[in-house]
Each structure stands twice: as C-alpha cells, then as structure tokens.
Amino acid sequence: MIDRSTIQRVIDATDIVDVVREFVDLRKAGVNYKGLCPFHNEKTPSFVVSPAKQLCKCFSCGKGGSAVHFLMEIEQMTYPEAIKWLGRKYGIEVREKELTDEEKQASSVRESMFVLNEWARDFFETTLHDTPDGEAVGMAYLRSRGLRDDIIRKFQLGFSNNQRDALAQAAIAKGYSRDYLLRTGLCYEGDGQRLIDRYRGRVIFPVHSISGKIVAFGGRILTDDKKLAKYVNSPESEIYSKSRELYGLYLAKKAIVKENRCYMVEGYMDVISMHQSGIENVVASSGTSLTEGQIRLLHRFTSNITVLYDGDAAGIHASIRGIDMLLAEGMNVKVMLIPDGDDPDSFARKHTPEEFRQLIEEGQTDFITFKTELLLKDAGNDPLKRAELVRDIANSIAAIPEGITRQAFAHECASRMDMDEQVILDTISKVRREESRRKYQAEKNREAETGGEEQKPETKQPETKPAEDDLTAYMTRNSNAEEQPERLLIQQVVRHGGIRLPLTEGEDNNEDEPPTLSVAQYIAQDLAADGITLSNELYARILKEAAEHSEDPDFDAPHYFLSHTDEAVSRLAVELGQAPYQLSRNQQQQYGNEADHLEEIVPRLLNDFKFALIQTEKRSLERQIRQLSADGDLAKCMTAMQQYKEISELFARLCAATGDKVVSNMK
C-alpha cells in the first residue's frame, strides 16, 4: 500500500496534459486541449483535456477522469501501478509495503507476465553485453549491420545463446513460474514436457507497449539454415496481440507529434537504422498487414503517414490493400519507393541523415496517385485490365470519408488515366452504396444469429437547458434515479466539502467572528440531528472523512478525493466532480457559479433527501396497511395507520419549511 503523502506528492507533480500526450496527439483548443479519443474509434476529436481542472473527458463515449484514471483505463493498470508510473515520470520515489505470499499469489496474471518479460529483457541484454558468446556472436552481428552501441542500448537489444534451456533454467532458479514462461511464449514444451527456450541462437528485439512495457520479443536467426525461420516472434498472449502493437511506437511517439507525421516501414532493423540516421518518427508493422487496431493507435498521434517501400513489386501489391484502411480512418497517406533496390535499413546505412530526409521529402507522393501509376503500368493498353484498374482505384477513393477529398482524387485520377471524371465518380458512388448494403446486411445477419436480442446502442439525446430561470430548475435532477437526492448531497461534499458556511441568525453568534460550519460538517450534523444515516456505504464514508478533515483550514475536498488511495472513492470523485448542470445565460447572471450559492443549495438538497426518505416510508406504510387490511389484522392495521399519520404530519412540516433560509446570506 502506498502512503497518502506520497500519493499527494505524485498528484501535485502531475500535469495531465503532459501525461495524456504520451498516448494522444493533443491540439490547443482555447484554454483546453483536444484530440482523438483513445478509447473508441472516431475521426473527429471529442477528447478534451483541461489543464485547469486536471481532468480529461471524451464527450462521445464518456470515458475520462484524472491522470491516474486515464492511465488505469488506457493501460489496464491498477491504482498503485498508475501512481508508480507517474512517480517514475516525475522522479518521485514511490514505496510500497512488502507483499505477503498471499498477496503475490493474488497479483494479476498480466502483471506477473510483465514482470517476467522485464526480467527476460535484462537477461537477454546481459547475455549480449557480458558473455563471450554475446560479444563474439550477437554484438558482432549487430555491428556488422552498422549499429552503434548507443542505438543497441536504446532499443534494449539482446542475445540468446544456443543452449536449449539457458533462460528457462535461470528463470526457474529466480523463482519465476513455469506456467508464466509458457504463457509469455519465452519457452515452449519439448519432449517429456521439458522447457525449451524459444529464441535460442538469436538476436533479440524487445517489443514495447505504447507506455514502455515489454509485451513481446522478436528473435532473428544468425545462420543461413534454410530449415529455420528467419524471425521468431512471441505468440499471442494475455499481454500481447500483434494486431494492436506497432514496433517502435513507444520511442517514436514524441517525434511523431512534433513532426506531425509518421513513417511506416516493415521490419525491426528498418526502424532502428532510421533512428540511427536521426529520423525517429518511424514505426514498423513487423511484417504483418495493418489492422484497424494499429491504425487507431497511430491516429492518436497524427493524421499524416508516409509508407516506405523497398521496391519489391510483389510486396507492394500485397501491402497496398491494407492502406485503404488508413484512408477509411481519415488519414492522409503518402507513399515513397526506396531507390536502387534498397530497403530503409540499407539505404539509411549508405546515406547521411540529411540525404535520407531529402529523399523522403522529394520522393513521397499521395497514395491514390501512387496506386494509379502503379496499376497503370500493369494494365498497359488492355481494356479489361484498365476497367479493373478503375474499380480498384474507386475502392480506395471510396474509403475516404471526406467528400471533397474524394472528388479531388477522382479528378486527379481521371486526368492521369485520360478518361471521363464522371465515370470514376459514378463507380465510387456505386462502391459506397454496395459497402453500405454490405454493412446493413451484416448487421441484419448478426441480429438473426442472436434472435433479435442484441441491443442497439442508445442514441445520445442532446442536452437541453431547463426553461425555468430559478434555483429550483437549476437543481432539477433525473426522476428515474432513486438514489439521486443522496448522490447530489455527496456531490456537494466532494466538490465543496471544505467551504465554510455562516450559521443562521439566532444561533451562537458573534458579529465580529460569525460561527461557521463546513459544507460537510453542516450536512453531517443536520442528518445526525434527525437520526438519518446514508444508505450508500461509500457515500457515508466520504461524508465522514470530509467532515473530519474539514477542520483543517487548508482542506481541499476535490483534490483530497480525486487523489484518494481507495480507487472506488477516487473514481466516484471524478464522476461527481463534473458539473451535472449547465446554467443558461440568465441563470449565470442571476446566480453566478454554484459555490456562491451553497447556503441555498445545500439546505434544499437536504430537504430533497428527507422528502425522498419520507416518500419511501409512506409508500411502504401504504402497502403495509393494504396488506394488513386484507388479512383482517385490525390491531396492526391501526398501528400502521397511526405511523402513517405521524409521518404525513412530518412531511407537511417539512413542506412548510421548504425554501426557508437555514443559513444566512453570504455578503
């Protein structure tokens, strides 16, 4: 467990814009920042980060919160893991008590696998740098590829010797589980269930998640044995899905944002060699076709991508099919062919960084133009092939979401193919109609397979402001939320719990120093006076803590609860910290902000809460009376009727008191 003072230091040091920028490309939007939401697929930015509030929120899917909650959601971290991540980022030592054996066993499978992978990364690095085989074989190979030592260290490259179970034995000796060695793919079972190292005799390339965790490894063979695969990669696991990772993104993301462009290459060495040439905004698909997950990951940081090809015709034709997905995501796609039969790796080793950059700037062209010219060469003068070409180009243009952009490319392609632009536009329209029908039919098929039980997502209704310009309308709440009065009370505690309210006249009063109570104390004392307790245990705990801590004049309720060590409390604080109402212009002129009218709002909410309790009790007694009357139990029925009369009188008295000033007006 992390002590509160350390958590507070971490929270105080954290800049949410700085944190979110590690994962999302943010652009200034007034006093806030906006970007594409990392939690769902979107083409128009709706993810807003507020430096003033130190909160983020997607106004489409609703996800967000503090920097801690953002990390927990995007990286599937626990609360302590997120605090430690922030501590490392801001240079704050975060100590946690030693875990018991039971607690270690209860640690998540994911965390255990991450820990094992980090140990394996260190094992491979040590083998490369500090063993005779590593120096003579592994380092010799990497240096033969022209890599400097600082680049080898930067990418944490390693080496696994030819021994069949060197890593397995070392891991077992360190206490790591056989099960996790298999789950991570570091080892596999041979004859007699013996553990065998997957990467033996290979140079090792660790694969990092977007936050820097080791999720997988790639291993390259160093011999010419045709029976062995050139590369061996980690299998899919609880922590690794190749369709959601891009090699090099962790080291490239800052450069991608700075340059507002990403270069896409194929292999590990392409990425590493380009880094050595000073070009860091580069990632690799690692030989796999692009997936929607990878594209969405990349789109967080930029809308501009340049795909670098090595000139292999078969490879180009195979990979350009996936680029339509980039276009559909709304990205601006350019393509460049590396000349002279080189790939990005070999070209980077032959040329200076300046020459490489110049080549890219002068040689890149938009994808549609590139694809048109490529297919025109294949089609020649064959009319059937040219007709197929039109269809192929139309498929790519049809994927572009922006209509103006589609028309511009249609015009360019018509000019290059020397044909009527309308033919291409008609073909594009036909493709889009067919795609719409395909999606519609796929949806109908899914409904049929589920028996029509699949629920469609709710349509989000536009928020409307109340017509009435009075405080009652301002405090209107959803009638279908049974716990809403209690929740609204706690919202005031989370947002304003430490603010002092002057007591009403007639109470122990000193004109020079009028007595005050904090909002939390006021609510707690009022409820205690009527013998009322909150039904929600979490709410009751928050009220108790706020009332106790608000004796401290420096108590900041929002800060305290947002940085609470209990994840349930901090998450609730994020939810309650967002303003649930939007004042109209007249309301803003009449009431100002909420904090200026707590002396009116808090007593009203207390009355609302009591009304709700009384109404619930009345309904319960009404049901009881009907049942007792039906059963013929006259004595109990009369007792219940007396209770109903008493609670009705209490309800009437409360109604009469509604609207009375409980605390004096603030001047």
User: How many Å apart are CA 293 and CA 251, to the nearest integer?
Assistant: 19
pLDDT band of residue 534 (cuts 50, 70, 90) is: confident
The pLDDT value recorded for residue 451 is: 56
Tokens of 76: 């599937």
Strand-pairing partners, residue 64, are: 57
Mean pLDDT of the chain: 80
User: How many Å apart are CA 660 and CA 261, to the nearest integer?
Assistant: 62
User: How many Å apart are CA 514 and CA 537, to the nearest integer?
Assistant: 33
Give the length of the chain: 667
Average pLDDT for residues 621-632, to the nearest whole number? 83
Highest mean pLDDT: which of 63-77, 87-101, 263-277, 385-399?
A: 263-277
263: left (phi over 0), alpha (psi -120 to 50) or beta: beta
The pLDDT value recorded for residue 368 is: 84
CATH code, residues 4-89: 3.90.580.10
- Tell me the CA distances in angstroms from 386 to 369, 400, 458, one per residue in order: 15, 22, 45
The pLDDT value recorded for residue 586 is: 46
User: How many Å apart are CA 380 and CA 393, to the nearest integer?
Assistant: 15
Look at strands 282-284 and 262-265 and give their pairing. parallel
User: How many Å apart are CA 165 and CA 191, to the nearest integer?
Assistant: 13
The H-or-E segment that residue 197 falls in is strand 195-197
The SS3 of residue 106 is coil
User: Under CATH, to which class is 107-240 assigned?
Assistant: alpha beta
The pLDDT value recorded for residue 450 is: 56
Q: Which residues contact 453 (CB under 8 A, 6 or more apart)?
A: none
Q: Is the dihedral of CA 105, 109, 115, 117 positive or negative?
A: positive
Average pLDDT for residues 546-551, to the nearest whole number? 84
Number of other residues whose CB lies within 10 A of the CB of residue 257: 21
Tokens of 455: 């629920």
Among 284, 338, 329, 276, which Cα is nearest to 310's? Answer: 338
Q: Name residue 587's amino acid.
A: Q
- Alpha helices per DSSP H over 174-245: 178-183
pLDDT band of residue 482 (cuts 50, 70, 90) is: very low
The SS3 of residue 49 is strand
User: How many Å apart are CA 230 and CA 236, to the nearest integer?
Assistant: 19
What are the DSSP calls for 276-339, one per residue?
A: HTT--SEEE-TTS---HHHHHHHHTT-SEEEEEE-S-HHHHHHHHHHHHHHHHTT-EEEEEEPS
Q: Return the CATH number of 249-434, one of 1.20.1630.10, 3.40.1360.10, 1.10.1740.10, 3.40.718.10.
A: 3.40.1360.10
Q: Name residue 289's amino acid.
A: S
User: How many Å apart are CA 54 and CA 31, to the nearest integer?
Assistant: 12
Residue where the block lists tokens 């596999």: 188
**177 with 112: CB under 8 angstroms?**
yes
pLDDT band of residue 455 (cuts 50, 70, 90) is: very low
The pLDDT tens digits of the residues spanning 566-611 come to 777 887 887 776 544 333 444 344 444 566 678 888 888 888 888 8
Q: Name residue 408's amino acid.
A: A
pLDDT band of residue 201 (cuts 50, 70, 90) is: very high
**565 with 541: CB under 8 angstroms?**
no
Among 281, 290, 298, which Cα is nearest to 360's? Answer: 281
**301 with 256: CB under 8 angstroms?**
yes
pLDDT band of residue 238 (cuts 50, 70, 90) is: confident
**386 with 413: CB under 8 angstroms?**
no
The pLDDT value recorded for residue 466 is: 32
User: How many Å apart are CA 517 and CA 421, to the nearest integer?
Assistant: 75
More confident residue, 205 or 453: 205
The pLDDT tens digits of the residues spanning 489-517 come to 898 898 888 888 876 544 444 455 557 78
Cα dihedral 402, 406, 408, 411, rounded to 10, equals -170
Q: Is the pLDDT of residue 624 over 80?
A: yes
Tokens of 516: 């005050």
The pLDDT value recorded for residue 663 is: 37
Q: Is the dihedral of CA 625, 628, 634, 639 positive or negative?
A: negative
The SS3 of residue 156 is coil
Highest mean pLDDT: which of 186-190, 308-312, 584-588, 612-616?
A: 186-190
